[in-house]
Structure 1
Amino acid sequence: MICPEKIDTLLEARWIIPVEPAGVALRDHAVAINKGVISAIVPSAEAHARFAPEEHIVLENHALMPGLVNLHTHAAMSLMRGIADDLPLMEWLNNHIWPAETRHVDSGFVFDGTRLACAEMLRGGITCFNDMYFYPEASARAAIASGIRASIGMIAIDFPTAYASDADDYLAKGLALRDEYSRHPLLSFCFAPHAPYTVSDRIFNKILTYAEQLDLPIHIHLHETRDEISDSVKVHGVRPIERLHRLGLLGPNLIAVHMVYLDNGEIELLAQQGCTVAHCPSSNLKLGNGLAPIVSLLNADINVGIGTDGAASNNRLDMFEEMRFTALLAKGQSGGANMLPAWQALQMATLNGARALGLGALTGSLVAGKSADIIALDFSSLELSPCYDPVSHLVYAAGREHVSHVWVNGKILLNCGELTTLDERELLLRAEFWRGQMAAG
């Protein structure tokens, strides 16, 4: 007689959507988890005979899927949600956001703001986020406190702040932080030069050298507005993408955020160089910047992930909303209802983002050997009934309010809608404290 294999957790659900292979929905299957890793995904009857779990969770009306990967955000800016709405990007930055950051942003602000963002993201099924902000050491501590997976941006910008005196100082502090947390199981790092208009060629060259030595992604705002492009032509004689190409930054490690204004030659160049695009539809729309040519990017076989951007320009860290917008806008732009089907939007919000961050072997899909970064959605509500195709439902019908459970690395962080690692009441008090600080000027 063969003894059942002892494991930590067995999850059973009505459906399991693994993302790999694409478009598949497994009915009446179970996920076996041990030591934070997916051991197997098998039919429930087989799982009962094969495994002896310490914890057995049966979710009869739920769909299990990989946790969402937020490929671009500024988590701490959750504390700036709504302070300067309905303004174009550069007016928003120059007259409101940057002055507010100068007055208020410190490590305490970033720690509290990032925890607030982590709570919102976890409740919305996001298990991994790619961050870009000042005081990244505070972002790292906040992510660790919440238990979420995070790619921490080592920001670089060519003007002084309370955090750093110049771009070299930003990089030195970022690299020291990476050294400190290089072995942490939930943290990874990327270089995060803010944008071509705030970073010099010298610093870009320095970042490229470090990125090649350390094999780390480079995460940057790029081609977000028409003004950015025209200013680059005036100052550098070329559009920003061409400038970065001449500097050697275009390549498989580049995560280019927004990418609204692209010509056919630039799309071809991005494809040739293997770059990733982080698509942020809500932020682009809200700031009036336009719509990225997602269909053309996908047709060129460019890896496209999805991000929320920060809550100051979105104002939600809601990847279900971004997924739905991504699919619908692609259909509207192309005039083809068959463009960007649900399975592809789901892959963009999970596996594509993980691959961009160098985490594709670790997260982004439910596959044996990967970390157990899993979310469950409750399909028993009226607005999700009836369900003919759970993959379609995840993109077009379900929302973050249907997320009931979240596991990261096998640890439960949201249990029946309740956060397990963060104190909601304390977060609300800290948010109100910072609202008072910012309202006082």
Structure 2
Amino acid sequence: MKCDILIKDCTVMTEDYSTPRHMAVAVDQSMVLEVGETKEMEERYQGITVLDGRGKLVMPGLTDGHTHVCQQLLRGRISDEFPMIWTRFLVPFESSLTEEDVAASARLACLQMIKSGTTSFADAGGTHMEQVAEVVLESGMRASLSRSTMDKGEMIPASMKAPAKACIQRTEELYRHYNGKGDGRLAIWFGLRQIISCSDELIRMTGARAAELKTGIHLHLAEHKDEVVYCLEHYHLRPVEYLHGIGVLGENVVAAHCVAVADREIPVMAASGMKVVHCPRANFCCQGFPKTPQFLDRGVTVGLGSDGAARDDVSIFEEMKTIRTGLSAAWGLPVFDSTALPNKDILRMATMGGAAAMQMEGVKGAVKPGAKADLILIRTHAPHLEPTSNLAYTVAETAYGSDVSDSIINGKLVMKERQVLTLDEEAILADAGHRMKQVYERAGI
């Protein structure tokens, strides 16, 4: 039987994080067809494309559950800067971006994500999201995109906000043009930048329209104490309680950060079915330590996000390392519990948790028959990965994005032996470098 791709003689990361060797994975028509021992699989399948998996681990592609691809050109600019980063840098930067700038930034972001093992991402929105959608289709990546939606805020320029009705209409237009494109790789969601910059009218309208279109809502939630104070002053409720009270909180909601969450809010989050995305490197340095172990104990689905390249980079492997260390210190050290956040939970957040947040049919975050073939191959024959008594856990703790050799997204080979097949790396780097200086001058930053 013919199949699109046959990966032979590889090691496979299973759903229980065992790593059997001398395996093969057959991929056909965007799906994982079968996983089995190489000898038996070679007798059954003839791959149109055959990948040599010797010395490599096949694992689910990683999901960046919260990012801002339009901020790629801010890398390094806000490091060591004092607050407020939002008003001093992000607002003038985003409001000055042209369509061409956003396209260049998105290409650079997709290039870095592919090369660091990320196969899908959820973008919370920026300007000119049509350009981002086109780049996603070009790159071969899987993505859910939102417009950055705001209708209030004295420090926010008119170009970045609009009346509630206009906000809804703009997202509906993006939805009509791009939702489901790229053989289902692209989804358009509604966005709410944060409660502070969105009116009660806009939030209610967003919840209602997203439900009607059966699509997602992406927002920053309970990110910092100022948001909690705002909600208490205006609604006499904490952020999670407020959204729950007006009927917006639900299975289609993906909420980034969720750091300033009270214990009493966690059962509400779990019952709603909403998904949480933590961004460890951004959260730990600016907001604090989220209650991830408590979320998981209550059954809340948790994914990982990079929050974009403005503060660091977009490698989910680095987020895995950071959340392990930071939350072990925050929640484990005070009670002498070294397993406050075990590696299996971190791997699940980066794969299955993120896949659940994407809300796309067949996207499972697992290497198993019937799942979408979003897979990465990692070179494990390296001194920081071999030998090991537990390869999956070692990957979670010590692997780097540069260890990823090949990437398959929606059943298509997107990167082979570190060469991205869908994007021109040198042209992208040159264009981004040229535009960065121009954007800074235009934004006055």
TM-score of the aligned structures, taking structure 2 as reference length:
0.93
Distance 1:209 1:88 in 2: 38
Distance 2:360 2:329 in 1: 32
Report matched runs for 1:113-152 at 5 Å.
113-133=105-125, 134-152=127-145
SS of 2:223's equivalent in the other structure is coil
Report matched runs for 1:395-434 at 5 Å.
395-434=396-435
Distance 1:13 1:97 in 2: 47
* Contact 2:151-2:162 at 8 Å conserved across structures: no
1:130 aligned partner, one-letter code: A
Is residue 217 of structure 2 the alignment partner of residue 221 of structure 1? no
Distance 1:385 1:213 in 2: 51
Equivalent residue for 1:16, pick from 12, 19, 22 = 12
2:177 — aligned with what?
180
> In the comparison of the two structures, how many residue pairs are matched?
431
Is residue 251 of structure 2 the alignment partner of residue 252 of structure 1? yes
Closer, same or farther: CA 50–424 of 1 in aligned 2, 3 Å = same
1:82 — aligned with what?
76
Distance 1:329 1:398 in 2: 18
Equivalent residue for 1:318, pick from 315, 318, 322 = 315
1:56 — aligned with what?
50
Distance 2:435 2:355 in 1: 32
Q: Cα offset for 1:68?
A: 0.3
SS of 1:60's equivalent in the other structure is coil
**Unaligned segments of structure 1, at least 5 residues:** none
Distance 2:161 2:150 in 1: 9
SS of 2:55's equivalent in the other structure is strand
2:412 aligned partner, one-letter code: K
1:59 aligned partner, one-letter code: G
Is residue 31 of structure 2 the alignment partner of residue 31 of structure 1? no
SS of 1:256's equivalent in the other structure is strand
Is residue 205 of structure 2 the alignment partner of residue 206 of structure 1? yes
Q: Deviations over 1:78-99 (max 9, x none)?
A: 011122223466x100122102
Report matched runs for 1:295-310 at 5 Å.
295-310=293-308
Q: Cα offset for 1:14?
A: 3.3
1:281 — aligned with what?
280
Moved more, 109-118 or 350-359: 350-359
Distance 1:13 1:109 in 2: 43
Distance 1:392 1:198 in 2: 41
1:295 aligned partner, one-letter code: P
* Contact 1:70-1:126 at 8 Å conserved across structures: yes
Is residue 324 of structure 2 the alignment partner of residue 327 of structure 1? yes
Equivalent residue for 2:88, pick from 89, 92, 95 = 95
Distance 2:133 2:175 in 1: 10
* Contact 2:149-2:161 at 8 Å conserved across structures: no
Distance 1:331 1:135 in 2: 39
Distance 1:220 1:333 in 2: 25
TM-score of the aligned structures, taking structure 1 as reference length:
0.94
Q: Cα offset for 1:168?
A: 2.8
SS of 1:57's equivalent in the other structure is strand
Q: Cα offset for 1:264?
A: 1.1
2:326 aligned partner, one-letter code: L
* Contact 1:276-1:304 at 8 Å conserved across structures: yes
Distance 1:378 1:178 in 2: 39
Equivalent residue for 2:40, pick from 38, 46, 50 = 46
Distance 2:25 2:168 in 1: 41
Q: Cα offset for 1:301?
A: 1.1
Q: Cα offset for 1:387?
A: 2.4
Distance 1:346 1:88 in 2: 33
Q: Deviations over 1:22-54 (max 9, x none)?
A: 223222111101122211111111101111222
RMSD over equivalenced CA pairs, Å: 1.7
Moved over 3 A (4+): 159-167
Equivalent residue for 1:107, pick from 75, 78, 99 = 99
Closer, same or farther: CA 165–339 of 1 in aligned 2, 3 Å = closer
Closer, same or farther: CA 164–111 of 1 in aligned 2, 3 Å = farther
* Contact 1:414-1:420 at 8 Å conserved across structures: yes
* Contact 1:13-1:63 at 8 Å conserved across structures: no
* Contact 1:15-1:390 at 8 Å conserved across structures: no
1:284 aligned partner, one-letter code: N
1:118 aligned partner, one-letter code: C
